Amino acid sequence: MDLALNNGFILDANGEKKALNIGIKDHKIFKISPGYLDGRETLDLQGLLITPGFIDLHIHEDKINDSGNLEIIEGRALTRMGVTSALGGNCGYNFTDIETLIEKINSRGFPYDLGLFIGYNSLREKLDINEYQEADAEQRNSLIQMMQTIFTNNKTFGVSLGIAYHPGISNKELMAIGKVAAEYDALIAVHLIGFPDRVIENLKELIAVSAETGARLHISHIGSVASYGRMEDFLKVFDQAWQDGVRIRGDCYPYSAFCTYIGSAVFAEGFIERLDCAYGDLEILQGEYKGQCATEDIFQKLRKSKPETLVAAHVMNREEIIKAIRNDRIMVASDITMNQGEGHPRGAGTFPRLLGRYCRDEELLDFYTGLKKITSQPADWLGLNNKGRIAEGYQADLVLLDEETVIDNATFSEPLLPPEGIEHVILNGELIVSQNKSTDLSKGKYMKYQRGDNNPARDFS
């Protein structure tokens, strides 16, 4: 054995704690045994819980800067809260050209295993289609070809749409995207238009596309698009679609504020009325007004002069978020979005917050159910058939945590504060985090979508 983990516990299929030791060899879980295991290295876990590494199916990955270097800010935060695999390129955007990013990962490594979505908004912007414009027939053909080329060459997990940011995306475009995604048995991950008067209609439109084309449909950060008084109706439509045979799932983060750029279409004229909020509900997360609530003047000034400033909008109903997270087909993902190390605390707190606050302290769902939403369920949905479970032969991605103390610490003023209770993180058999400190930020690889190996019909267990 290369590494032996002794004196730990795992949760069995019934959620019961069992004292079992784990031996890792050649990057895989080689042996799971009640007896003491010997290895080249051994760790005495002193009663820690061993869980699969967390799979974050909605992130905005670190960017390559102007000098061509990958700036690892988010990777550190994500891995310190237990993330060993994540899906980037969400909400319609690839911040870095996909080929360039993959080359970079192949040459220097990455903090965790990263898979990608094709950002559809980014492709539209390459063709100079603005956010309120529809693509014409010729442009649609170019977009289809671009998607097919990327799917074929780069084995991406799907295509992401930011309809909230490009409300001009037309039904014809959606149908074309659905057909391409279905051809590759890949996902369409959608950031819906998040206004209470439009969100359900938008969801129904996507469900119809999925029903018609057969593409699998993923609804991103459901809390941030539907927790304004419409969640119950939203979930009825969502659940009914599943019962009707549409392959649909979603994710939600455990916070009641969303976060995005002040210049985005989300804050276009009329958002105050549509979200039934006030300028003072917006907290500025960057720049000279950092930490302040917006006024109309500050809002207008920043939207015009500093549109890339991140703001948090404290406008979501917590009860509705809890309802979403408790839904069987909704998983938990961080939606980490940082700009120069500033942003929303979800990027450093989501998973310990789920386990510590939602599961342990408030008993909104049991610990085992919480864990499944960030391990086996995303693994099944993404077709990652050697991740998300503790089983012999699986890739050795593990989190060693203290379930009595695990908790998030990150706040809006200090969004990168590491959590407590995530003691060690192991990626592909190697220790990448030890006692809250990153020990290696280069052990991760580019993950390719294994088309056909996924089993989306497999019930979440």
Contacting residues toward Zn ion, per CB under 5 A: 91, 191
Kind and range of the H or E run holding 350:
helix 346-353
Of all residues in the shown chain, the one whose CB is closest to Zn ion is 91
Nearer to Zn ion, 24 or 252 (CB): 252
Nearer to Zn ion, 218 or 247 (CB): 218
Residues 6+ apart with CB under 8 A from 355: 367, 370, 371, 401, 403, 406
Cα–Cα distance for residue pair 435/424, rounded to 1 Å: 6
Nearer to Zn ion, 91 or 406 (CB): 91
Cα–Cα distance for residue pair 224/70, rounded to 1 Å: 29
Strand 83-88 and strand 113-119: the pairing is: parallel
Cα–Cα distance for residue pair 81/176, rounded to 1 Å: 38
Nearer to Zn ion, 251 or 397 (CB): 251
Min CB(165)–Zn ion separation in Å: 8
Cα–Cα distance for residue pair 399/16, rounded to 1 Å: 17
Nearer to Zn ion, 52 or 89 (CB): 89
Strand 310-313 and strand 282-284: the pairing is: antiparallel
Nearer to Zn ion, 191 or 216 (CB): 191
Residues 6+ apart with CB under 8 A from 156: 89, 98, 115, 116, 117, 118, 150, 186, 449
Burial 326-349 (b: 16+ CB within 10 A, else e): ebebbbbbbbbbbbeebbbbbbbb
